[in-house]
Amino acid sequence: MRLKRRIILLLAAVLFVAVFAGCGHYLAIDAANPHRAYVAEGGAGSAVGTEGGGEGLSGPESQAVRFCPVFVVQNDRPENLVGSVKATKREGGKPEIAIDTDDPAVYFEEKSFTVGGKNLTNLIYRVHFSNTPYSLIPFILTAGKNPGIMLIVTLDEARKPILVTTVHTCGCYAAIIPTTNLDPKFLPENHPKDYQRVYGERLPAMLDFKSADARLVAVLRPGVHRLMELSAVGATDFFGDGKTFKPVPMKVLPMEGLRRLPLPDGGTISFFHDKGILRGHVKGSVKPFETLLMSWMPLDLFVGADKDFATDLTENPFYTSLKPWNRHSSDLWDFPAFLKFMGYRFD
């Protein structure tokens, strides 16, 4: 019995270290050079104005551009760079998915919903990276290919941002940051006043949109792509000196395009598996360490694998809780249910 208890304690200790090591610092922040700031084409600070958007949604009056976060990376190693999802072919003609960091893009979708008698709108922004690097010391739990992160801006009926939700495209590290436009009566009970902890990262408890041209600035941690800072900053203040941030134009493309990536010789292929046990998951995104160490908890072999954000289409819930009994109540796709799960009191 003592041996069994020791084994259980050892496994628990290993899991604890694995989970929280996965929230640590892996790559140094480059303080000597301006940090890349990915800016939606046509947005404030964009180096390219409103041209060059291809079949995207870029444009001076586009709501998709107006509320698009500026994604800041602080280390220029390839795995930290935002890219667009491309379909290529290997020798022999087999299709292959790749993240093209020379052509950065953010994928956008708008979704309206009703909660508590209010008609709200979600502006959904999704970016992807080539990989999270493998490392044993320090141990990177989330290592693997094609990871991504989403930021969701919720607008009220007056088209003012009231919530910002952040989550990795595997469903991990979900958090909601309300803005000063939200009536405090809708906040969860005991909502923190200063900041909130999200698996090792410290995010604000509230975002203050003071200026009319305020832009969301999302600073990502090198290596693991965790959201480490989020703020609402006036565009003039953010890009003023040109020494801290280097604007990089980023196309705004429709989310639906991820399901119809053009192949070089014609035809299309999806970024996601469309059948079998991996249906709804990003191709090539299974995370070996998470499968090995974490799959027992949510009863999901593919925990940590990135997903399509479309439960109705894929029948693969975008759950944000590791507890298997919360699989549907924590599904971010059903945003009213997710708000209730997170303690928000709209009903």
> How far apart (Å, rounded) are the C-alpha atoms in residues 336 and 291?
29
| One-character DSSP codes across 8-44 | HHHHHHHHHHHHHHTTS--S----SSPEEEEEETTST
> 111 CB contacts (<8 Å, ≥6 apart)?
121, 122, 124, 335
Query: Which letter does DSSP use for residue 69 in this model?
Result: P
Which amino acid is present at 99? I
Helix ranges (DSSP H) in the chain: 2-21, 63-66, 235-239, 288-294, 311-314, 335-341
Residue whose entry in the numeric block shows the structure tokens 């141990």: 139
> How far apart (Å, rounded) are the C-alpha atoms in residues 275 and 217?
37
Please tell me the predicted confidence (pLDDT) of residue 306: 98
Is residue 346 situated within a structural domain?
Answer: no
| One-character DSSP codes across 68-92 | PPEEEES--SGGGS-BEEEEEE-TT
- Looking at the structure of the chain, the number of domains it has is 1
Domain that holds residue 220: 2-341
Is residue 13 situated within a structural domain?
Answer: yes
Is residue 347 situated within a structural domain?
Answer: no
Is residue 128 situated within a structural domain?
Answer: yes
pTM for this structure? 0.88
Q: Which two tokens stand for residue 163?
A: 């919530």
> How far apart (Å, rounded) are the C-alpha atoms in residues 165 and 115?
16
Residue whose entry in the numeric block shows the structure tokens 């693991």: 224
What does the pLDDT profile of the chain (347 residues) look like in tens digits?
566 666 566 555 555 555 554 444 455 666 657 789 999 987 554 443 333 334 555 544 488 999 999 999 988 899 999 999 999 988 777 899 999 999 999 999 999 999 999 999 999 999 999 999 998 888 999 999 999 999 999 999 999 999 999 999 999 999 999 999 999 999 999 999 999 999 999 999 999 987 777 889 999 999 999 999 999 988 667 666 566 788 999 999 999 999 999 998 889 999 999 999 999 999 999 999 999 999 999 999 999 999 999 999 999 999 999 999 999 999 999 999 999 999 999 98
